[in-house]
Chain A
Amino acid sequence: MKQRITFLLHSLEDIDTDNVLFSDEKVKIPSSLFSLRQDRITLTKDELPQEISELFSKLYMFRIQWSSETAKRTEVFQNFLQLGFAAHLIPSTLEYEPVFDEFGKFIAKNLDVKFTHENLISTATSATYNSLDEVKSSTFQQFLSVLTPKLDRISFVQDFDIKWEQSELVITWNSEPFDSTIERTNEIRKEVALFESKELYGDLELVGFRTVIGEEYQPPEKTLLIVKPRHSLVKDTVLGVSFQQPVGLHPDLHIDFSPNVTSPFSSCEMFIVNTMPSVLFFDQYQYNEDKLHLVSSWGENDLEAPNWKVEKFGSVQLFKVKDYTNGVDIKFHTRYIKPSTENHFKIATPEVFWACEADLFMADWDMIERNPFDNYNLGFESFFEPSTVFYHYNKNVSSLPLTIPSADADDFSTVQIVTSVSVVIGSIYLLMKLFGSLVALNRPETKDEKKIK
């Protein structure tokens, strides 16, 4: 098994023999020196426990991601994940429902996120499940221990990304700073690198040290790496995302583009990827077509079903933005929810980014795929060609609260009584009137009636 540990340093100059330790037995890096740590482990099918490798082999490909509300997204580590939990699955057999269920059980047991095949939606590239479930660092560490030999202590995991492809499992996770100690073991080849990143004409220059401990030992040596990121951040711009007030049953998500927004390159187009839980739905027949083009809406698009009749987790929309002047509004509609159930929801704000055809303006775009931190795979990036580069916007909030009005289940019997009694009284009243009329109309006319006429 291989483990790659990368520290993103505040400054290379901070490193000295007093604060870091490099030896063939261990590497120690104090938390004060770096802003983010990335771990990546690679396991072949044979290195996995047999039961697990059998389960994974029933899937052609999968990607499991999770990102916390406070996760720092960096161009170096390419961790541009959507908030919350996502599972993207591609089965290798037509009998995929039991496979998805079995896989769901495995995830529920080990990562504490529950889903079955009924909750999945199918997008352009995979069967997908999303939720805003929290995965604790300890849960994730427990999960790793099921798959791998003992790892060094990890903490403060802010996001992770698990990929299974061609019988190889790659798990990447990023942690906030903690005092890190990496110890030599025979089972794991550990490659440790410390970098400072500098921008270099759109590329990144990574300068630092690299060492390998394990069965072989490579003493620390200086390294220089130039990488071309697939995902970049649009600097100095934060988009304001909010629900227009009052929210009501038709929340209107407003994305404020008022800061100077311009396309990074002429071949770029702006997109929005939106992931919604089932309590909200998007009406693909009614939206602002002057501003947005709906590329597709996957998942639960039923315009009428209440939430208790919906199995899928929700839906995903991919929009191309036609016109962002004065902001963009996306109208959603709420489903009715069960009386007396949780009616406060957290809604992830959409991903807003420019997608650009790299081969049109980058001579050396193939460098993107050679970036050791590139992670192109399933998920929203797979809706685009592999030669696409992305420029992401930061948002003022990663999620928005939403309250959906619902009734109180305790009122059920009162409602039933009031309704049925009303119907019965109304019916009896009409029956009396009608029988009265039937009698009056079938009776020979009396003198009084004749007089009225």
Chain B
Amino acid sequence: MSSTLLLVAGALMRVGFLLFGQYQDANMEVKYTDIDYLVFSDAAGYVWNGGSPYVRETYRYTPLLSWLLLPNNIFEDFGKWLFITCDLITGLIILQLLEMAMVKGWKKTVLGSIWILNPMVATISTRGSSESVLTVFVMLFVYNLLKRNVMTCAVFAGIAVHFKIYPVIYIPTAIIFLLPVHSIKQVWRSPGVVFEDSVITFVFCTIVTFVTLGSIMYIINGYEFLEHSYLYHFIRSDHRHNFSIYNVSLYFTSALSQIPSADFTRLAFIPQLLLSAVIVPLALTKKSLCDTFLIQTLTFVTFNKVVTSQYFIWFLIFLPLYLRNSSLLSLNKSKGIMALLLWISSQATWLFFAYKLEFLGESTFFPQLLLSSVGFFFVNIYILGLFIDDTTSKHNSSGI
């Protein structure tokens, strides 16, 4: 199957999902369309009428997203078609990157289909979740980085960080990638290399893009923009149950903690950022850029205070590239299968207890949900360990 055919199949699958969703919305009590889609649509409606998107409660995104969705006011499914398109563009870039890494033929198709024919990915975009807009920006950033189009790459990095803060963890990776050294150890010997032109250009252009976008939004929407798009994510204590290892603890802490300083969840960003934004890039970037992106994203999500399945999209975009030369598909196939089974079963365990809480009203916070999230956390840690070992021992001369 050629790339075109694969993309057509992906498109047809998504259109099918979309149509099914329309049927479900019209005929069933449980709606297919994600609540977030209604949030963006309402926000786009306020913008359409000359107002601020933040008039809509729980709109916590850049105004850019509500502008992109302005056509929703004429055609309410516009956003879903946009997200499907972004999904496919992401898929196309994944295929391009695979080609750059000399992956061809059926292997490229199989790896590409991890994204393009993934029902989870298709569901998320057709339900109206905006993640795929971000994945396009992230992939364009990665593509241009590998092509060494430093300025273009920096612009997309700036947009991605503006869109959702987390891609900021890719900045150190990009910088290390651009350093004219073979191994990070050389930087210690000659620290002057960090002032390399491409690095300066990248950092400068990323900052300029981010600050320019932020300023435009600030001028138009004022403090509301900062409050809802950025500050909220630092002060939020999302206590509603989710996969995060911190979740049950956050519920207790938010409700019971008398002394705020005793709340260690405030320090959660330390292991999270230290590992995902510093140590992983330092250790692995020079070996493989995309493997580093995968590992740091999975680390970031694993240690995050809120984890929902939408976040899995963030690292899934790197999985096809990672697997192209992974021993988990060849020498260590059993480990790979085991990792996948563990990942699915630990999630299923958590979901089982979440279902009992959410729909049957049983108090499963302790120990069920706590232990299931601990289980899922350690499965992720184990998988990260596998990925790190695998990346280290991979034969990879391209650096992709």
Is the CB–CB distance between B183 and A430 below 8 Å?
no
* Nearest Cβ on chain A to B372's Cβ, whole angstroms: 12
In the complex, which of the residues A285, A302, A309, A408 contacts B42, with contact meaning CB atoms closer than 8 Å?
A285
Complex-state Cα separation, A427 to B381, whole angstroms = 8
Residues of A within 8 A of B249 (CB): 415-416, 419
Q: Does B95 sit within 8 A of A, measured CB to CB?
A: no
Is the CB–CB distance between A338 and B256 below 8 Å?
yes
Interface size class of B (residues with CB under 8 A): 35 or more
Residues of A within 8 A of B363 (CB): 405-407
Is the CB–CB distance between B395 and A419 below 8 Å?
no
In the complex, which of the residues A246, A302, A337, A423 contacts B268, with contact meaning CB atoms closer than 8 Å?
A423
Interface core residue of B249, B287, B299 (most chain A CB under 10 Å): B249
Q: Does B97 sit within 8 A of A, measured CB to CB?
A: no
In the complex, which of the residues A412, A420, A434 contacts B256, with contact meaning CB atoms closer than 8 Å?
A412
In the complex, which of the residues A303, A407, A431 contacts B366, with contact meaning CB atoms closer than 8 Å?
A407
Q: Does B362 sit within 8 A of A, measured CB to CB?
A: yes
Is the CB–CB distance between A248 and B366 below 8 Å?
no
Select from chain A the residue with minimum beta-carbon distance to B359: A248
Complex-state Cα separation, A303 to B58, whole angstroms = 8
**Per-position binary interface string of chain A over residues 300-338, scored 1 when its CB falls under 8 Å from any chain B CB and 0 otherwise:** 011110101100000000000000000000000000111
Select from chain B the residue with minimum beta-carbon distance to A427: B271
Count of A residues near B, CB < 8 Å?
A: 51
In the complex, which of the residues B35, B357, B377 contacts A285, with contact meaning CB atoms closer than 8 Å?
B35
In the complex, which of the residues B38, B280, B282 contacts A286, with contact meaning CB atoms closer than 8 Å?
B38
In the complex, which of the residues A285, A339, A419 contacts B245, with contact meaning CB atoms closer than 8 Å?
A419
Complex-state Cα separation, A419 to B378, whole angstroms = 11
* Nearest Cβ on chain B to A16's Cβ, whole angstroms: 58
Chain B residues 208 to 252 lying within 8 A of chain A, measured CB to CB, are 238-240, 245-246, 248-249, 251-252
Known interface pairs A246-B360, A308-B255, A338-B256; A407-B248 also in contact (CB < 8 Å)? yes
Residues of B within 8 A of A405 (CB): 357, 361-365
Is the CB–CB distance between A437 and B391 below 8 Å?
yes
Residues of B within 8 A of A362 (CB): none
Interface of A is mostly: helix
Residues of A within 8 A of B364 (CB): 405
Interface core residue of A416, A430, A436 (most chain B CB under 10 Å): A430
Residues of A within 8 A of B248 (CB): 407, 415, 419
* Nearest Cβ on chain B to A380's Cβ, whole angstroms: 25
Q: Does B127 sit within 8 A of A, measured CB to CB?
A: no
Q: Does A422 sit within 8 A of B, measured CB to CB?
A: yes
Q: Does B303 sit within 8 A of A, measured CB to CB?
A: yes
Is the CB–CB distance between A422 and B374 below 8 Å?
yes
Is the CB–CB distance between A430 and B381 below 8 Å?
yes
Is the CB–CB distance between B35 and A407 below 8 Å?
no
Is the CB–CB distance between B362 and A438 below 8 Å?
no
Is the CB–CB distance between B275 and A442 below 8 Å?
no
Select from chain B the residue with minimum beta-carbon distance to A416: B249
Known interface pairs A306-B255, A422-B245; A285-B366 also in contact (CB < 8 Å)? no
Is the CB–CB distance between A336 and B256 below 8 Å?
no
Is the CB–CB distance between A409 and B256 below 8 Å?
yes
Known interface pairs A405-B362, A426-B381, A433-B384; A442-B184 also in contact (CB < 8 Å)? yes
Binding site for B on A (CB under 8 A): 246-250, 285-286, 301-304, 306, 308-309, 336-339, 403-409, 411-412, 414-416, 418-420, 422-423, 426-427, 429-431, 433-438, 440-442, 452-453
In addition to A308-B255, A441-B283, 9 A-B residue pairs with Cβ atoms within 8 Å of each other are A249-B359, A285-B39, A411-B367, A415-B248, A415-B249, A418-B370, A426-B245, A434-B279, A453-B395
Ordered by A's residue number, 14 sampled pairs between the chains whose C-beta atoms are within 8 Å are A285-B39, A309-B254, A336-B251, A403-B361, A407-B248, A416-B249, A416-B253, A418-B374, A423-B303, A426-B245, A426-B381, A430-B275, A430-B279, A437-B391
